[in-house]
Chain A
Amino acid sequence: MERTDTYERHHLKATELRLGLPGTDEPQKQSPATASIKSNKRALPESAKDCSSNNNSCASDVKDGDCACAPSSKAQVVGWPPVRSYRKNCFQQKKNEPDVSGMYIKVSMDGAPYLRKIDLKVYKSYPELLTALENMFRFTIGEYSEKEGYNGSEYVPTYEDKDSDWMLVGDVPWDMFTSSCKRLRIMKGSEARGLGCV
């Protein structure tokens, strides 16, 4: 790709800290000042622990803020780019979630003639899921509380987990729920009284 070639050509040239006018190809400018320029091409002082460039183990160096995550190619220039030490903490790059496959599970509702299927991956939190279920089956779920479950609701959302137990939706953190949920069942409130209480 032409653009990359151009970039690479200038990338390499650009790393040469020299005094010539831009565009000239003379690398040999023997003036005493070049010595001072060269001395800047040194790694960050003191805390230059070895850190592989893509590995985020630099997080452990965070304490004194001087994380010397030297990239594999060129030596770093001191203080460049001008980013404060405390900001240099190597941020964990979040993985873009490229998961294309959905997580479809069956949803049954007591009294409904047929089941539905939903993709759990579409929802990011319990409120989103519960709202979607309410819309899909045209009913309302009441307030959740740890102590009482969905006490007072006409319908109660439950799910079958990996151990084939029927659990109340909402007790565990969202990510734990999505990884263990095999199917959903929207139970009539009257039947669910046993499930909701401690």
Chain B
Amino acid sequence: MDCKRNRDMKSPPPFPDEVLERILSFITSRKDRSAVSLVSKDWYNAERWTRTSIFIGNCYSVSPQIVIRRFPKIKSVTIKGKPRFSDFNLVPPNWGADIQAWLFAFASAYPFLEELRLKRMTVSDESLEFLSLKFSNFKALSLLSCDGFSTDGLAFIASNSKNLIELDIQENAIDDFSGNWLCCFPENFTSLEILNFANLNSDVNFDALERLVSRCRSLRVLKVNKNIQLGQLQRLLVKAPQLTEIGTGSFLQELNLQQYAELACAFNHFKNLHTLSGLWEVTSVYLPVLYPACTNLTFLNLSTAVLQSDELAKVLGHCPRLQRLWVLDTVGDAGLQSVGSSCPLLEELRVFPADPYSQDIFHGVTESGFLAVSRGCRRLHYVLYFCRQMTNAAVATIVQNCPDFTHFRLCIMNPHQPDYLTDKPMDEAFGAIVKTCTKLQRLAVSGLLTDMTFEYIAKYAKNLETLSVAFAGSSDWGMQCVLDGCPKLRKLEIRDCPFGNAALLSGMERYESMRSLWMSACNLTMNGCRLLAQEMPRLNVEVIKEDESEDCVAEKVYVYRSVAGPRSDAPSFVLTL
């Protein structure tokens, strides 16, 4: 293919537009499409006419108008809104990222929109109603970590979206009035394939749910909330033997022998189950009913199930094909030993703290559990590990065992905690990670760390895209190193570190090639931020000003590139410099 076209020549293109568009319509990767659009004007046009799916990583980096002007034929939209630290209460409420302006634009430009996937956006009930009424072909709604709506909004979707295939409501902070929204699916509605309401708290109308499950013969994903009891679960499972992903409700209800047998029989039918989650309040009496369904399981999410080590060991003995495992740290190091011995195909492990605020180091997991996993699970490449003690030596051994890490998120829960055996900072641990794991894309650091950690990161982590830093570093030099040394860095989020204006300004040139930078409780001042804003007009430099801080201090700073200019919807506490 002739890629270097001389713009001055008015020669006819090598292919007619229709052919080029047909070829380009096979390209689905975002990065490839981006590259394609830069080749020439013809290719740019062909690409924009053939793009059907758009991903907007920061809703304020572009405006709805710009999007609809460039891409006329979008069927699927994914948008992310607030900075990630809003998940941990660092962003005040009513910050923004409201979907409504987008929906207005889409209603006129994409009336046949089929999919909407939102993360950390604000969505009102009115928006949900609007969505359900204006898009007759709407098929899939996924809301992750969003806020602003209530179960009333879900009722609109259920009532009006006649072609709905997917309703995935995860981890949102919403008003949970009642489960009646489930009753709003019409009796002749049968298209649902994915239903996830696991994180809603209110009771749902079980009869309505049972009827819904019965008539949706293509249902393959069903994740119910903890108000669904075991006996009810059994009735649902019997109606939907084609499920491949199950999220159970509460596993606590006392069953008599017949009910137990019926439940075991129900699970026995699920030979093609690949994902299992839920299991709230599980007791060991009922765990065995799951075993026959675990043979082909690839993802087991036990992060809401309080299990002890022996219980986990027994379950894992039945999960030889497991690739992803999420557990609570109640399983302890002994539980993690059994992970290492039972799950050789494991690629991802997440260990969550059951009791994050306890000071007691005798709960939870330690470095030895992580070591045990690394010895048995050589394919491990994604880890999220909350612990209360760690050593440099352990981490070095872990990455020797598993050099293919792409995502390494270690959270030593007490800030500034050193290697508990040597009392030294944890610099060498992260040094070992970046030296050994050349494919590392995402890193979260913790423990007592000096600038040395950041020197290591800058020197070795050449594929790093996302870095999370908290309570770490000694001086501006640390942050400067990273900004200078990591060419692929896209997202940098920092809290409670001694990085000041010098560090912020050293990265001036970098921020335009990054998605965003977040810095809170560091040493930034308003003047420093103003200077950045002045020098880099294509960046939005926003300071979140809450009452308690002094006037010249920039408590929370959010910097991101944008082609849409400063926000027009910023609340009073967000100052755009």
Nearest CB on A from B544, distance (A)? 12
Q: Which residues of A contact B358 (CB under 8 A)?
A: 53, 71
Closest A residue by C-beta to B417: A14
Closest B residue by C-beta to A77: B415
* Distance in angstroms between the alpha carbons of A74 and B159 in the assembled complex: 49
Known: A53-B358, A79-B88. A39 touches B548 (CB 8 A): yes
Closest B residue by C-beta to A79: B88
B353, A83: Cβ atoms under 8 Å?
yes
B356, A21: Cβ atoms under 8 Å?
no
B396, CB-defined interface residue at 8 Å: no
B261, A32: Cβ atoms under 8 Å?
no
Q: Which residues of B contact A173 (CB under 8 A)?
A: 254-256
A36, B413: Cβ atoms under 8 Å?
no
B416, CB-defined interface residue at 8 Å: yes
B248, CB-defined interface residue at 8 Å: no
B414, A144: Cβ atoms under 8 Å?
no
A135, CB-defined interface residue at 8 Å: no
Nearest CB on B from A48, distance (A)? 12
A94, B361: Cβ atoms under 8 Å?
no
> Which one of B181-189, B370-378, B549-557 is at the interface?
B549-557
B303, A81: Cβ atoms under 8 Å?
no
A99, CB-defined interface residue at 8 Å: no
Q: Which residues of B contact A146 (CB under 8 A)?
A: 256, 258
Q: Which of A1-38 contact B (CB under 8 A)?
A: 3, 6-7, 10-11, 13-15, 17, 19, 21-22, 31-33, 35-37
Closest B residue by C-beta to A171: B256
Nearest CB on A from B340, distance (A)? 22
Per-residue CB contact flags for chain B residues 261-275 toward chain A (1 = under 8 Å, else 0) read 100000000000000
A114, CB-defined interface residue at 8 Å: no
Closest B residue by C-beta to A146: B258
B88, A126: Cβ atoms under 8 Å?
no
Per-residue CB contact flags for chain A residues 111-148 toward chain B (1 = under 8 Å, else 0) read 00000000000001111000000000000000011100
Known: A39-B549, A63-B201, A85-B89. A91 touches B354 (CB 8 A): yes
Q: Which of A40-81 contact B (CB under 8 A)?
A: 40, 44-45, 53, 62-66, 69-71, 73-74, 76-81
Interface size band for B:
35 or more
> Which one of B235-243, B418-426, B529-537 is at the interface?
B418-426
B523, CB-defined interface residue at 8 Å: yes
For A11, give its contact among B357, B414, B498, B500 (CB under 8 Å): B414
Closest A residue by C-beta to B170: A86
A170, CB-defined interface residue at 8 Å: yes
A93, CB-defined interface residue at 8 Å: yes
A175, B500: Cβ atoms under 8 Å?
no
A84, B87: Cβ atoms under 8 Å?
yes
A100, CB-defined interface residue at 8 Å: no
8 tightest Cβ-Cβ pairs between the two chains A and B: A79-B88, A173-B254, A170-B257, A33-B523, A14-B416, A81-B413, A126-B257, A91-B354
Pick 6 A–B contacts, CB within 8 A, sort by A. Answer: A33-B523, A37-B496, A74-B359, A77-B415, A127-B260, A170-B256
User: Using a CB–CB distance below 8 Å, which chain B residues touch chain A?
Assistant: 85, 87-90, 145, 171, 173, 176, 199, 201, 254-258, 260-261, 281, 284-285, 288, 303, 306, 308, 328, 330, 352-359, 361, 386, 411, 413-418, 420, 423, 425, 448, 450, 470-471, 474, 495-496, 498, 500, 521-523, 525, 548-550, 552-553, 555
User: Using a CB–CB distance below 8 Å, which chain A residues touch chain B?
Assistant: 3, 6-7, 10-11, 13-15, 17, 19, 21-22, 31-33, 35-37, 39-40, 44-45, 53, 62-66, 69-71, 73-74, 76-88, 90-94, 96, 124-127, 144-146, 169-176
